[in-house]
Amino acid sequence: MELSEKIQMLRKKEGLSQEVFAEKMGVSRQAVSKWELGVSHS
């Protein structure tokens, strides 16, 4: 399982939207979306 899949699975298991998860993590919703899509800056 990819990290992106784990992030999405755990977020959904907790019943959190990307926006709420982002607030808890101290990042933007767009960052969470990119994590879940497996997009990163290198």
Residues in CB range of 36: below 8 A, 6 or more apart: 4, 7, 8, 11, 18
Which pLDDT value is given to residue 26?
98
Which pLDDT value is given to residue 41?
59
Task: Locate 41 and state its tokens.
Answer: 């800056």
| pLDDT, tens digit, 9 for 90 and up, residues 6-29 | 999 999 999 999 999 999 999 999
Distance of CA 36 to the CA centre of its chain: 5
Helix, strand, coil percentages (3-state) for the chain, rounded to 5, are 65, 0, 35
Give the global pTM: 0.82
